[in-house]
């Protein structure tokens, strides 16, 4: 017969720490601690299998399992020398849930189970303190009422509060026996009222109801949402731990507390925590009494403190990680109730991982696995002071698109942003949405706030790219651009007013909250020496270890020499994506590109393109130089031409206003009408699917010719100057081999001419983005032309799903909230759909060209879960924004280690 219940006591342990699947984290660790001689109150764990069986059999505990629970209960009675429900010497137990992964705040605990009207008096007699027994009983009714019987917690609290107020006391422990009796009586009346039944006096009924309640809690909407947000599977189930009660509320020699073996905020090695004398666990959490810092225990109970230190050190050595523990002291005796790996900040994670290696406790591989890659973000972005933040009005909440904190004065246009910045002001750019011609304003801002857009909208992508905090899709915002104000949360904010945005939480707050830049950034930018920052040293040590294990190369998406320098400082091994069009938006250059678009003859067009050549050549020269001989992938012109022109509706409004005003300037109107005609001709219903990418290059070959010329003139120049250069020219938006062949022919011709003229040697490659499903499907063909592939997973996700990243936010959020999808495919690669195309493309591409280099340069290139997939399908590199390079390096190492099953 299958076993569903596992016993643990000092002498009889049926589980261990590796049985988390079956016993949950808490249960496995209680068993493990019992096994290695740590003082743990004995008890038993009802397994997650029992939970799943409970769910699948319509929320009932089978008779076999009931029987097994009772058998273990009697083992526990023997171990404790007490009897459950006994009049003389009653056994009391705690019931706690415990899933494989900790789900803080999701499940609840019931203490003092086994008390009823009879046993409460036995406990009173046995302990000699009736008030204590009554205190335990009222706690049981409260917790049981809340967790099992679904009576409102708040009503229990109101009763208690009223009685304390009447008694004129502040603390629970100041209530007398009489008061306690009154509390109990009113609690029971509440239960009677809420459920139509009395509080159960049968202790076995109490036990089975409590176990059922824990099992049921697995499927509450709250728990399902939590698992979705944390990417946890739904079919794990939770275990239930039934354990002998230890009383921290048994007078002044008793206490209860929690702690960490190291500081979870900064990682320093030092016992860290807090405790309460004469209290039970929930008192610490409830925050009614202020707990004492754990250091005080050394004075109050020096022997116990030493014992706690020894035990927690033993636990850390045993588990080889920072431990988050709970303990209870009853009458000067210490018991451990829980131990688990401690949650920590990014900063602490890095320090702990490095320290543990240097203390000889763990291997480098293990250290790499100990740090969540995304948590490195916390090391890079400026932060608010938490206490100051709490004093500011929260006016809205949007999508936390780019982490970090920023405060500034509100402006509404990119040009204003630039002007105000020049005046030395800090500003936050607020827009309905941003577009490439806002780049200069975005760059001038402390942070970005938009009313529309999803996690991969322009503002979000550029925000992360620039390492700037950004909140997008903040739907509560109503902009009035004319009046230069917005309203949100019932408040009106005008241009120039201060707001603060927390890109890590999505919160928009009123007023200025001070921020400080991350130390790591200061080192990378050369403002602090590396040796002056322990954090930086640990950070770079960990990443250099990661480099030793990873198989994927890591490159940066960088458009400017500045980006490239930062990427290089962060360890980028090349540039995986340079968006050449970003170079066109500069005010010096925009007139030429506009003139080119408006040109009526090819000659005029060529003329204006020619004027862009020197600018582009200089850009590429500096980019190549910054990358010091590492490969630089340059993408030819990608966006539709109308992005460089004014918006259609703005022109229409301007013309209509001029005409209706009665003081029309005919010539001006005529010009605007002509411009509008051109804009109309170029405007598209679905620009994402329009005349852009290689389609531009094919219809306007002179543009690609100019770009190729700029690239190879710059490269030849550098080679002459003695620097190694490795250009990789990447053609965007290919859907067929024929399109690439057309563009490649131009590039190869121009390159050949220039290299011959220069009389130097220069190796280069021509490849393509794979960002259209058809390019992936026909990869075998495309690889005949392409020397490399780079997955543009932003566009590939858009086209594979038929969802625009800018427009999808509204319904994707709905899908995620309603559990229709588990993940946002724009955040992490959709393995079943997009991933299938990628796998196919890699396989077919390498069948044609075995040495085909394949990378990824969409936003997924910086997403750790996507990086695991990239490693699995054997990409050569991932490319991400400069600020994501550390994340990618670490995630790549983890991916490689996971795949080899090393750790």
Active site residues: 458, 857
Kindly tell me which residue out of 608, 616, 800, 866 binds its own copies, with binding defined by CB under 8 A. Answer: 800
**Residue number, 326 or 771, with CB nearest to its own copies:** 771
Helix or strand or coil: residue 165? helix
Helix or strand or coil: residue 178? helix
Strand 507-510: give its sheet, edge to edge.
Answer: 394-397, 507-510, 498-502, 405-411, 427-431, 447-450, 470-472, 399-402
Q: Should residue 643 be labelled a site residue for its own copies when binding is judged by CB under 8 A?
A: no
**Residue number, 39 or 690, with CB nearest to its own copies:** 690
Q: How far is the CB of 680 from its own copies (least distance, A)?
A: 8
Helix or strand or coil: residue 285? helix
**Residue number, 336 or 451, with CB nearest to its own copies:** 451
**Residue number, 574 or 735, with CB nearest to its own copies:** 735
Whether the Cβ atoms of residue 40 and residue 30 lie closer than 8 Å to each other:
yes
Burial 442-475 (b: 16+ CB within 10 A, else e): bbbbbbbbbbbbbbbbbbbbbbbbbbbbbbbbbe
Q: How far is the CB of 654 from its own copies (least distance, A)?
A: 8
Kindly tell me which residue out of 541, 774, 872, 898 binds its own copies, with binding defined by CB under 8 A. Answer: 774
- Pattern of binders to its own copies over 242-271, x per CB under 8 A? ------------------------------
Task: Please identify which residue in the block is written with the tokens 């400017």.
Answer: 560
How far is it, in rounded angstroms, from Cα 840 to Cα 540?
36
Kindly tell me which residue out of 562, 765, 821, 823 binds its own copies, with binding defined by CB under 8 A. Answer: 821
Q: Should residue 816 be labelled a site residue for its own copies when binding is judged by CB under 8 A?
A: no
- Pattern of binders to its own copies over 729-758, x per CB under 8 A? ----x-xx-xx--x----------------
DSSP labels, 552-607:
SEEEEE-SSHHHHHHHHHTT--SEEEEEGGGGG-STTTHHHHHHHHH-SSHHHHHH
Q: Should residue 428 be labelled a site residue for its own copies when binding is judged by CB under 8 A?
A: no
Q: Which range of residues in 70-78, 310-318, 677-685, 893-901 is near its own copies by CB under 8 A?
A: 677-685
Task: Please identify which residue in the block is written with the tokens 């273990």.
Answer: 72
Whether the Cβ atoms of residue 818 and residue 811 lie closer than 8 Å to each other:
no
| CB within 8 Å of 132: residues ≥ 6 apart | 123, 124, 247, 249, 250, 251
Q: How far is the CB of 715 from its own copies (least distance, A)?
A: 28
Q: Should residue 671 be labelled a site residue for its own copies when binding is judged by CB under 8 A?
A: no
Count Cβ atoms below 10 Å from residue 318 Cβ, excluding itself.
15
**Residue number, 269 or 872, with CB nearest to its own copies:** 872
**Residue number, 552 or 694, with CB nearest to its own copies:** 694
**Residue number, 296 or 736, with CB nearest to its own copies:** 736
Helix or strand or coil: residue 243? strand
Whether the Cβ atoms of residue 336 and residue 38 lie closer than 8 Å to each other:
yes
Q: How far is the CB of 710 from its own copies (least distance, A)?
A: 24
Helix or strand or coil: residue 442? helix
Q: Should residue 817 be labelled a site residue for its own copies when binding is judged by CB under 8 A?
A: no
Q: How far is the CB of 663 from its own copies (least distance, A)?
A: 10
In DSSP terms, 516 is beta-bridged to 383
- Pattern of binders to its own copies over 468-507, x per CB under 8 A? ----------x-----------------------------
Burial 236-260 (b: 16+ CB within 10 A, else e): bbbbbbbbbbbbbbbbeebbbbbbb
- Pattern of binders to its own copies over 268-307, x per CB under 8 A? ----------------------------------------
- Pattern of binders to its own copies over 685-704, x per CB under 8 A? xxxxxxx---x--xx-----
Q: Which range of residues in 111-119, 599-607, 623-631, 679-687 is near its own copies by CB under 8 A?
A: 679-687
Q: Should residue 666 be labelled a site residue for its own copies when binding is judged by CB under 8 A?
A: no
Residue 489 gets which letter from DSSP?
T
Q: How far is the CB of 386 from its own copies (least distance, A)?
A: 35
Task: Outline where 371-496 has alpha helix (H).
Answer: 377-380, 386-390, 414-422, 439-444, 458-466
Kindly tell me which residue out of 69, 370, 837, 895 binds its own copies, with binding defined by CB under 8 A. Answer: 837
**Residue number, 17 or 692, with CB nearest to its own copies:** 692
Whether the Cβ atoms of residue 526 and residue 429 lie closer than 8 Å to each other:
no
Q: How far is the CB of 212 from its own copies (least distance, A)?
A: 28
Longest dimension (CA), the chain: 105
Q: Which range of residues in 442-450, 493-501, 551-559, 676-684 is near its own copies by CB under 8 A?
A: 676-684
Q: Should residue 820 be labelled a site residue for its own copies when binding is judged by CB under 8 A?
A: yes
Instruction: Count CA within 13 A, CB hemisphere, residue 415.
Output: 1
Q: Should residue 898 be labelled a site residue for its own copies when binding is judged by CB under 8 A?
A: no
Both tokens of 399, joined, read 């999508």
Whether the Cβ atoms of residue 792 and residue 770 lie closer than 8 Å to each other:
yes
Q: How far is the CB of 485 from its own copies (least distance, A)?
A: 15
How far is it, in rounded angstroms, from Cα 643 to Cα 99?
52
Q: Which range of residues in 54-62, 253-261, 827-835, 846-854 is near its own copies by CB under 8 A?
A: 827-835
Kindly tell me which residue out of 103, 369, 834, 856 binds its own copies, with binding defined by CB under 8 A. Answer: 834
What Cα–Cα distance (Å) separates residue 466 from each residue in 502, 560, 566, 567, 641?
A: 16, 11, 10, 11, 24
Q: Write out the binding residues for its own copies, residues 561-600 only, by CB under 8 A.
A: none
Q: Should residue 436 be labelled a site residue for its own copies when binding is judged by CB under 8 A?
A: no
Q: Is the dihedral of CA 634, 639, 642, 648 positive or negative?
A: negative
In DSSP terms, 327 is beta-bridged to 257, 336
**Residue number, 136 or 838, with CB nearest to its own copies:** 838
- Pattern of binders to its own copies over 858-877, x per CB under 8 A? --------------------
Both tokens of 735, joined, read 């859907």
Helix or strand or coil: residue 812? helix
Q: Should residue 648 be labelled a site residue for its own copies when binding is judged by CB under 8 A?
A: yes
How far is it, in rounded angstroms, from Cα 233 to Cα 248?
36
Kindly tell me which residue out of 778, 787, 816, 848 binds its own copies, with binding defined by CB under 8 A. Answer: 778
DSSP labels, 210-239:
HHHHHHHHTTSHHHHHHHHHTT--SSS-EE
Q: Should residue 670 be labelled a site residue for its own copies when binding is judged by CB under 8 A?
A: no
Kindly tell me which residue out of 795, 829, 865, 891 binds its own copies, with binding defined by CB under 8 A. Answer: 795
Q: Should residue 781 be labelled a site residue for its own copies when binding is judged by CB under 8 A?
A: yes
Q: Should residue 794 be labelled a site residue for its own copies when binding is judged by CB under 8 A?
A: no
Q: Should residue 836 be labelled a site residue for its own copies when binding is judged by CB under 8 A?
A: yes
Whether the Cβ atoms of residue 794 and residue 771 lie closer than 8 Å to each other:
yes
**Residue number, 6 or 644, with CB nearest to its own copies:** 644
Q: How far is the CB of 478 from its own copies (least distance, A)?
A: 8
Calculate the CA dihedral of residues 28, 31, 32, 38 and round it to 10 degrees: 140
- Size of interface with its own copies, in residues (CB under 8 A): 63
Q: Should residue 226 be labelled a site residue for its own copies when binding is judged by CB under 8 A?
A: no
**Residue number, 286 or 745, with CB nearest to its own copies:** 745
How far is it, in rounded angstroms, from Cα 111 to Cα 533?
47
Q: Should residue 606 be labelled a site residue for its own copies when binding is judged by CB under 8 A?
A: no
Q: How far is the CB of 586 from its own copies (least distance, A)?
A: 24
Q: Should residue 659 be labelled a site residue for its own copies when binding is judged by CB under 8 A?
A: yes
In the complex, which residues of this chain contact its own copies (CB under 8 A)?
A: 432, 478, 648-649, 652-653, 656-662, 677, 680, 684-691, 695, 698-699, 733, 735-736, 738-739, 742, 771-774, 777-778, 781, 795, 798-804, 806-808, 810-811, 814-815, 818, 820-821, 830, 832-834, 836-837
């Amino acid at each position: 017969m299958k076993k569903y219940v596992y016993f643990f006591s000092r002498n009889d342990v049926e589980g261990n720490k590796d049985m988390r699947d079956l016993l949950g984290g808490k249960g496995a660790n209680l068993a493990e601690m019992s096994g290695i001689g740590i003082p743990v109150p004995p008890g038993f764990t009802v397994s997650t299998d029992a939970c799943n069986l409970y769910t699948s059999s319509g929320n009932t505990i089978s008779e076999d399992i009931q029987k097994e629970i009772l058998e273990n209960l009697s083992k526990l009675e023997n171990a404790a020398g007490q009897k459950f429900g006994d009049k003389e010497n009653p056994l009391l137990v705690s019931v706690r849930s415990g899933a494989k992964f900790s789900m803080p705040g999701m499940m609840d605990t019931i203490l003092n189970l086994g008390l009823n009207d009879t046993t409460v008096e036995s406990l009173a007699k046995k302990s000699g303190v009736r008030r204590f027994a009554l205190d335990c009983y009222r706690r049981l009714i409260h917790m049981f009422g809340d967790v099992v019987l679904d009576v409102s917690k708040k009503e229990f609290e109101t009763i208690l509060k009223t009685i304390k107020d009447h008694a004129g006391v502040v603390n629970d422990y100041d209530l007398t026996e009489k008061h306690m009796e009154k509390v109990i009586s009113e609690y029971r009346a509440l239960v009677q009222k809420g459920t139509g039944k009395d509080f159960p006096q049968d202790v076995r009924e109490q036990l089975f109801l409590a176990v059922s309640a824990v099992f049921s809690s697995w499927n509450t909407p709250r728990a399902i949402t939590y698992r979705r947000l944390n990417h946890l599977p739904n079919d794990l189930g939770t275990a239930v731990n039934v354990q002998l009660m230890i009383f921290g509320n048994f007078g002044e020699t008793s206490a209860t507390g929690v702690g960490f073996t190291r500081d979870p905020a900064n990682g320093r090695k030092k016992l860290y925590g807090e405790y309460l004398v004469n209290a039970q666990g929930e008192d610490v959490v409830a925050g009614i009494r202020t707990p004492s810092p754990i250091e005080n225990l050394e004075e109050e109970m020096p022997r116990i403190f030493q014992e706690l230190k020894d035990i927690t050190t033993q636990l850390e050595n045993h588990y080889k990680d920072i431990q988050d523990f709970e303990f209870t002291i009853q009458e000067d005796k210490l018991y451990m109730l829980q131990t688990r790996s401690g949650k920590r900040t990014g900063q602490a994670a890095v320090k702990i991982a490095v320290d543990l290696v240097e203390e000889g406790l763990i291997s480098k591989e293990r250290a790499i696995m100990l740090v969540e890659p995304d948590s490195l973000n916390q090391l890079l972005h400026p932060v608010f002071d938490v206490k100051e933040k709490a004093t500011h009005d929260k006016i809205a909440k949007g999508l936390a698109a780019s982490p970090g904190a920023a405060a500034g004065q509100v402006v509404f246009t990119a040009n204003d942003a630039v002007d105000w910045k020049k005046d030395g002001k800090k500003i936050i750019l607020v827009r309905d949405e941003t577009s490439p011609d806002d780049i200069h304003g975005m760059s001038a801002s402390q942070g970005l706030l938009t009313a529309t857009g999803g996690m991969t909208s322009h503002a979000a992508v550029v925000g992360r790219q620039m390492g700037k905090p950004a909140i997008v899709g903040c739907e509560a915002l109503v902009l009035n651009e004319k009046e230069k104000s917005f309203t949100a949360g019932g408040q009106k904010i005008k241009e120039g007013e201060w707001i603060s945005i927390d890109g890590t939480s999505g919160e928009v707050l009123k007023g200025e909250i001070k921020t400080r830049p991350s130390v790591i950034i200061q080192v990378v930018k050369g403002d602090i020496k590396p040796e002056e920052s322990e954090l930086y040293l640990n950070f770079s040590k960990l990443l250099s270890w990661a480099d030793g294990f990873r198989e994927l190369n890591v490159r940066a998406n960088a458009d400017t020499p500045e980006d490239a320098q930062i990427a290089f400082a962060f360890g980028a091994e090349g540039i995986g994506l340079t968006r050449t069009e970003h170079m066109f938006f500069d005010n010096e250059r925009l007139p030429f590109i506009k003139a080119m678009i408006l040109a009526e003859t090819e000659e005029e067009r060529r003329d204006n393109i020619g004027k862009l050549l020197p600018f582009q050549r200089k850009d590429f020269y500096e980019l190549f130089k910054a990358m010091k001989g590492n490969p630089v992938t340059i993408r030819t012109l990608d966006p539709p031409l109308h992005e460089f022109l004014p918006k259609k509706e703005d022109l229409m409004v301007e013309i209509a206003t001029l005409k209706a005003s009665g003081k029309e300037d005919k010539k001006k109107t005529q010009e605007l009408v002509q411009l509008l005609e051109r804009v109309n001709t170029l405007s598209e219903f679905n620009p994402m699917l329009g005349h852009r990418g290689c389609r531009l290059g094919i219809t306007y070959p002179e543009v690609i010719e100019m770009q190729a010329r700029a690239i190879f003139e710059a490269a030849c120049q550098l080679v002459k100057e003695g620097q190694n250069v490795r250009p990789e020219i990447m053609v965007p938006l290919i859907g067929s081999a024929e399109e690439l062949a057309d563009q490649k022919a131009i590039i190869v011709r121009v390159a050949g001419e220039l290299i011959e003229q220069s009389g130097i040697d220069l190796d280069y490659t021509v490849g393509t983005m794979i960002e259209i499903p058809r390019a992936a499907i026909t990869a075998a063909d495309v690889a005949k032309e392409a020397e490399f592939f780079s997955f543009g997973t932003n566009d590939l996700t858009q086209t594979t799903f038929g969802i625009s990243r800018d427009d999808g936010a509204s319904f994707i959020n709905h899908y995620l909230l309603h559990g229709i999808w588990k993940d946002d495919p724009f955040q992490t690669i959709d393995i079943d759909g997009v991933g299938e195309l990628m796998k196919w493309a890699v396989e077919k591409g390498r069948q044609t060209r075995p040495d085909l280099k394949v990378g990824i340069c969409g936003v997924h290139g910086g997403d750790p879960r996507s990086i695991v997939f990239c490693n699995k399908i054997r990409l050569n590199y991932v490319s991400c924004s400069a600020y994501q390079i550390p994340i990618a390096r670490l995630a790549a190492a983890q991916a490689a280690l996971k795949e080899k099953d090393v750790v």
